[in-house]
Chains A and B, each alone.
Chain A
Amino acid sequence: MMEIVLSLGIGVLAGSGVWLILRPRTFQVIIGLSLLSYAVNLFILAMGRLRMAAAPFVSKGSVGDSLHFADPLPQALVLTAIVISFATTALFLVILIVSRGLTGTDHVDGQEPER
């Protein structure tokens, strides 16, 4: 059950994200990138296998037995990935605002398409 919920969640986030980054407005693109990074973060966590009620560290009495604890590495990776994607999204937001100020439009090409 947990697997289905998680994979559906990742799928919905990734699908919406891909749809949004293909849209022509910069705001849609930035939301799409954020959704995609949520999907990827969940995906990394899932790659360390899904475990219920297992701490990612070694407690007394369970040393060396991998059955008693969850894989800590993907959690560390996710933490790094969250920080980095947060920072780069903030940076992108600045560029987005600069572009809006310079061109007067929020189209990704800096100009409205000619009709």
Chain B
Amino acid sequence: MNRVADHLIVAPVLLPLLASAIMLGFGEGRRNLNAAINVASTFALVGIAVALLRASDAAPDGVMGVYRLGDWPPPFAIALVVDRLSALMLLLTSLIGCAAVVFSLAQWHRAGPHFHALVQFLLMGLNGAFLTGDLFNLFVFFEVLLAASYGLALHGAGHARVKAGLHYVVVNLAASLLFLIGVSLIYSVSGTLNMADLAVRISAVRAEDRALLETGAGILGIAFLLKAGMWPLSFWLPMTYSAASPPVAAMFSILTKLGVYIVLRLWLLLFGDQAGASIHFGGNWIMLGGIATVVFGAIGALASQGMARLASFSVLVSSGTMLAAIGFNDVGVTGGALFYLISSTLGIGAFFLLVELVERGREPGADVLAVTREAYGEDEMTETEEVGVAIPATMAALGLAFVGCALVIAGLPPLSGFVSKFALLTAALNPSGASPGGPVPPASWALLVVLILSGLASFIAMTRAGIRVFWASADRSVPRVRLIEMAPVAILLIFCVAQTIQAGPIMRFMQATAQSLHAPGNYVRAVLGHNRKDEI
């Protein structure tokens, strides 16, 4: 590895920091210049993420490199680590970021101050949180991205946003305090904050300290699961996400995935097979919580009256499915879940952007009226002869994009949502280690039932929303949609199609990622250096 590639690891943090600092320097007067910097930086982040992804996939042990800030010897100071999972999350973040930024150029970036700088700060916090190998540094990056997200949640102002934003800020401030309590408890017992070092030391924690360690891990878990939106910690989520402006909501769909990512990373690293007495601590709770989240999200999606709320509840279904799959603790299931993570995040991101385009042509409150009419059985007897009316091209494009989103989110063939759910369920029904033809464990049945029913619920909810918007209202005006707004939605959906076509190679990558997550020896060795090889 040459020196430039070495420093590429820290670029996803430095580039947005630099970009946002420059933008703050220019101030609000030069919005077009700021927009150009924002777009350039976000697209550069995609390039960097692709380079890191290729390098980490080519690396023999899946860890592309460890960047020691300040070049301190291993367990001290902060290290940034790039392995397959972090590189994958970086790429996903920058793709969603690109779509949201380009979408906002049409009009949303004028709705409030410092939009572009805040987006770059959010990207910086997200990238840092995906890269860091240190618990307290994770807290710092969390706060960076939260501070940016507070500003973005309020972007565009308005009564609903301020009300939802107030709740969002309070809930997250309280969660940050829980995060600190968890981190300090773990430090007091283990004496380290380096994740890899912690994985080594966790089996050696004295029996009388183990309760403290597990308390710390549990409290830390609450802070992350709140971000991931696990029931019953998720009541703030639908309101905040549906009130946020569309490009911001699309970016927020990656925030819940950050919570999921950290649970995946830390739980398998700290409480994997080598954790001694704490082995698989809390696994059942993650699984049960995930299933409860899916149920809550599916019921919420069925009950949603607006499309933005429907999208918010789809976020809950998606992160619930991820959590249930993580709690299942099987290499194959984790691989399928990672495939699902990519497809559902892309689909939901596209859907959040699409919602605003579709709703643009309708009077506010139309959905509520329609649901009320359905509930009270008041038929509209004013149907006119609309047979054979040509559909405007805009509506056709929007409708096609809507069908794409619905297929991905509900998990129906032929798009990637179906492939991912199929992979998940196949692995869950044939867990590694079980004899072929043997009895299927009850957890697999639970996962099967929940996944299929939640898919059905999403499908019904999406179909109802689609019929109401595209078919039922003949007198609606066609929304004025610009190409720059339609393109990001189309690109995100094209990625979903590409993921379906290239399912083989992508699935191989996901399985390799899952294998290295379930056997974190390589990660630990890479971070701590080879002198500690004998300890794990």
Residues of A within 8 A of B (CB): 21, 26, 29, 33, 36-37, 40, 43-44, 47-49, 73-74, 77, 80-81, 84-85, 87-89, 91-92, 95-96, 98-99, 102-103, 108-110
Contact = CB atoms under 8 A, between A and B. Distances in A.
A26 B184 CA distance: 29
B170 A29 contact: yes
B162 A36 contact: no
Nearest to A84: B143
23 contacts: A33-B170, A40-B180, A44-B184, A47-B185, A47-B188, A48-B187, A48-B188, A77-B183, A81-B180, A84-B140, A84-B143, A84-B176, A91-B147, A91-B150, A91-B169, A95-B154, A95-B165, A99-B162, A99-B163, A102-B157, A103-B159, A103-B162, A108-B167
B389 to A, nearest CB: 43
Interface of B: 136, 140, 143, 146-147, 150, 154, 157, 159, 162-163, 165-167, 169-170, 173-174, 176-177, 180-181, 183-185, 187-188, 193
Given A37-B177, A74-B184, A108-B167, A80 B136 contact: yes
A74 B162 CA distance: 36
A88 B143 contact: yes
Contact of A108 (B157, B159, B166): B166
Contacts of B150: 88, 91-92, 95
A59 to B, nearest CB: 20
A-B residue pairs, 10 tightest by C-beta: A47-B188, A47-B184, A110-B163, A44-B184, A84-B143, A40-B177, A40-B180, A99-B162, A92-B169, A99-B166
Given A44-B184, A98-B162, 6 more contacts: A21-B170, A33-B174, A95-B154, A95-B162, A103-B159, A110-B163
A77 B182 CA distance: 13
A44 B139 CA distance: 14
Contact of A88 (B163, B166, B173): B173
A43 B187 CA distance: 12
Main secondary structure of the interface of A (DSSP, over half): helix
A26 B187 contact: no
B404 to A, nearest CB: 36
Contacts of B181: 40, 43
A23 to B, nearest CB: 11
A80 B176 contact: no
B169 A95 contact: yes
A47 B187 contact: yes
Q: Most chain-A Cβ atoms within 10 A of its Cβ — which of B154, B163, B193?
A: B163
Contacts of A108: 166-167, 170
A97 B157 CA distance: 13
Contacts of B136: 77, 80
A109 B163 contact: yes
A78 B512 CA distance: 39
Contacts of A77: 136, 180, 183-184, 187
> Which residue of A43, A47, A98 has the most chain B CB atoms within 10 A of its CB atom?
A47
Contacts of B147: 87-88, 91
Contact of B170 (A73, A74, A92): A92
Contacts of B184: 43-44, 47, 74, 77
A86 to B, nearest CB: 11
B239 to A, nearest CB: 11
B167 A92 contact: no
Contacts of A102: 157, 159, 162
A96 B162 CA distance: 9
A6 to B, nearest CB: 14
B251 to A, nearest CB: 19
A91 B143 CA distance: 12
A60 B187 CA distance: 27
Contacts of A48: 187-188
B180 A44 contact: yes
Nearest to B178: A40
Contacts of B173: 33, 85, 88-89, 92
A88 B185 CA distance: 23
A88 B166 CA distance: 12
A72 B146 CA distance: 27
A87 to B, nearest CB: 7
Contacts of A29: 170
A73 B169 contact: no
Contacts of B166: 26, 95-96, 99, 108, 110
A86 B146 CA distance: 14
Contacts of A40: 177, 180-181
A95 to B, nearest CB: 6
Contacts of B187: 47-48, 73-74, 77
Nearest to B136: A77
